Amino acid sequence: MATWTWFHQLGSPPHAYRIAGRFAPWFGWGALLCIVYGLFGGLVLAPPDYQQKDAFRIIYVHAPAAWLSLSCYTAMAVAAFVGLVWRMKIAHAAAAALAPVGASFAFVCLATGSLWGRPMWGTWWEWDARLTSQLILLFLYLGYMALRSAHDDLQRADRSSAVLAIVGVVNVPIIHYSVYWWNSLHQGATVMKADRPSMPAEMLVPLLVMFLGFTLFQWWVLCTRLRAEILDRERNARWLQTELLDGAR
Amino acid sequence: MKAGDGAVPTGMLAAAAATFRRDVVLAFRRPGQMFQPVVFFLIVTTLFPLSLSPQLSQLRDISPGILWVGALLSSLLALESLFRADMEDGTLEQWVISGQPLAVQVLARILAHWTVSGLPLVAAAPLVGASLAVPATAFGTTMLVLGLGTLCLSGLGAAGAALTLGSRRASVLLSLLVLPLAMPILIFGARSVDLAILGEPTRGPVLLLSALTILTLSLTPWAAASAVRISLE
């Protein structure tokens, strides 16, 4: 089927290496533009919140990081599934490249959440449902990376961690809802859940731009890390030698 | 199934039953090893009154948490050996080439493992509960949810144990993989015990925990089976 050739081509390391190299700068510069604009709009142009004053501005980093930590896990599980089912080595390489990215975004989300909690809740850590499920997500990432590094054989590491990623992604919604259920029994609504008027445009637009910027940044990092993974995995391949020599010439 | 004149019964369920019987018999031949997790459970739960306070009223508030964390850690202890010996002596390879569905064999192993490691914990639960000032009216619910929870954990643990088969420092890694996934079990289980102690209806969390157990037991044998295949490649 002609429509699927791009998919098969993507499965070949040289092709994926070149594609990732071609797209990386676009994603990178796009991310830089969006993040600079979003930060300026969010930190300078947007008016302070009527209730949280300037402290709310951390949302411009916190929310996109939370979104990316989840989307990275989903993408990782999809890549792992593709790798397991179609035995596509590039998909495993992509999953391997995504894991540390997602883990760092989960960490950024937790750190900024903690910083935000200090002025809002008066404590560095609150057992809030969202923060707790984010923490468990970070643990899932750490387990995935630990399993990957515990295998010496690359193929076995790829395939075992792929099974783990799929088991994990089935569990993520269960963990999420059970934590919400647990939390709603233990404490009432917090500042975060209090009813507040929907965001005015001058607050919302920079936030959406930040979401876009973070997503582009994720793709840029993915492309770059994927290239590094391919370099590592294919270091003895003939095509890589010619590729690199051509590039040097 | 009837096995006449020395004919060996064959088929999926017969093979699974044979695996179950073998595992249970092997475990009963080494009763010392079998009761180690229970002893661990008793010791861990003794640590809490010693480190917190001997006051029964205070202990009653935290007893569901102590019971569950203790049970979770004790059942983790037994998990690492779930497939390792069979990996080393080639039994797993025989499973794979036997032509029987591997997931069903794994399910039989999960059930056998729960029988020899989960049920003793359930039996020890009233003892531990009494020492933590859990009222006798809550013993029934406590044993029920501990039984469900350890069964669920055996399922998750089988997947974890199969994934760490070919790896270094497997025991720490296994806890790292299984504990985050086990958090829903902990939440529903501890909440049921909490409600039972307060004398309130426990139907909700018990049903949720049962649903979780059914879901886990229907999915994890497949994950564990594919992990076993990967480790044998």
Confidence (pLDDT) at A188: 47
Q: In the 3-class helix/strand/coil scheme, how is B17-64 assigned residue by residue?
A: HHHHHHHHHHHHHCHHHHHHHHHHHHHHHHHHHHHCCCCHHHHHHHHH
Question: Hunting for tokens 């993520």 — which residue is that?
Answer: A172
What is residue A89's three-state secondary structure?
helix
Query: Which residues of chain A lie closer than 8 angstroms to B179, CB-CB?
Result: 139
Give the dihedral of Cα atoms B98, B100, B103, B105; nearest 10 deg.
Answer: -70
Task: Compare all CA atoms of chain A with the CA of B192 and give the residue at the minimum distance.
Answer: A182
Region A120-142 average pLDDT: 85
Dihedral in degrees, nearest 10, Cα atoms B203, B208, B209, B211: 120
Q: Which residues contact B152 (CB under 8 A, 6 or more apart)?
A: B182, B185, B209, B212, B213, B216, B217
- Chain mean pLDDT for chain B: 87
Instruction: Establish, for the pair of chains A and B, how many residue pairs have beta carbons separated by less than 8 Å.
Output: 81
Are B191 and A182 inside 8 Å of each other by CB? yes
d(CA B124, CA A27): 59
Dist. CA A95–CA A90, nearest whole Å = 9
**Rounded distance between C-alpha atoms, residue A121 and residue A142, angstroms:** 28
> Domain spans of chain B?
12-232
Burial of B233 (0-12, 13-18, 19+ CB in 10 A): exposed
Distance (Å) from the C-alpha of residue A35 to the closest C-alpha of chain B? 33
Q: Is the pLDDT of residue B55 over 50?
A: yes
Q: The complex's ipTM?
A: 0.84
Residue B111 CB contacts under 8 Å (≥ 6 apart), including other chains: B20, B154
Is it the case that residue B166 has pLDDT exceeding 70?
yes
Side chain identity at B54, as an amino acid letter?
Answer: P
Task: Report pLDDT for B149.
Answer: 93
Please report, for residues A1, A30, A206, B122, B139, the alpha-carbon distance to residue A43 in angstroms, rounded to integers and kept in the order given: 50, 20, 9, 56, 56
Structure tokens at A177: 């809802």
At residue B5 the predicted structure's pLDDT band, cuts being 50, 70 and 90, is low
Residues of A with CB under 8 A from a CB of B: 84, 136, 139-140, 142-143, 146-147, 150-153, 155-156, 159-160, 163-164, 166-168, 170-171, 174-175, 178-179, 181-182, 185
Structure token pair of residue B135: 């009222």
Which residues of chain A does B226 touch, with a Cβ-Cβ cutoff of 8 Å? 84, 163
User: Which DSSP string corresponds to B5-16?
Assistant: TTPPP-SHHHHH
Q: What is the pLDDT of residues A162-206, one digit of tens each?
A: 999 999 998 888 888 888 888 776 554 444 444 554 667 777 888
Q: Which residues of B touch A168 (CB under 8 A)?
A: 181
Q: What is the pLDDT of residue B58?
A: 80
pLDDT of residue B3: 44
| Count of other CB atoms within 10 angstroms of residue B55 | 10
Residues of B in contact with A143 (CB under 8 A): 173, 176-177, 180
Does residue A165 contact residue A144 with C-beta atoms inside 8 Å? yes
CB count within 10 Å of CB B229 equals: 16
The per-residue pLDDT for B220 is 93
Q: Which of A182, A184, A185, A186 to substitute to test the interface with B, most B CBs within 10 Å?
A: A182
> Shortest CA distance to B225 belongs to which of B43, B95, B79, B38?
B95
How far is residue A191 CA from its own chain's centroid?
26
Q: B125: which 2 tokens?
A: 């639960």
pLDDT computed for residue B145 by the predictor: 93
Tokens of B175: 């806890």
Instruction: Encode B62-83: b = buried (16+ Cβ within 10 Å), e = exposed.
Output: bbbebbbbbbbebbbebbbebb
Instruction: Report the candidate in B118, B109, B122, B111 with the shortest Cα–Cα distance to residue B76.
Output: B118
Q: What DSSP designation does A47 have?
A: P
By residue count, chain A amounts to 249
Alpha carbon distance B35, B117 (integer Å):
8
Cα(A100)–Cα(A239) distance, integer angstroms: 28
pTM of the model: 0.86
pLDDT in tens, A41-53: 888 887 777 777 7
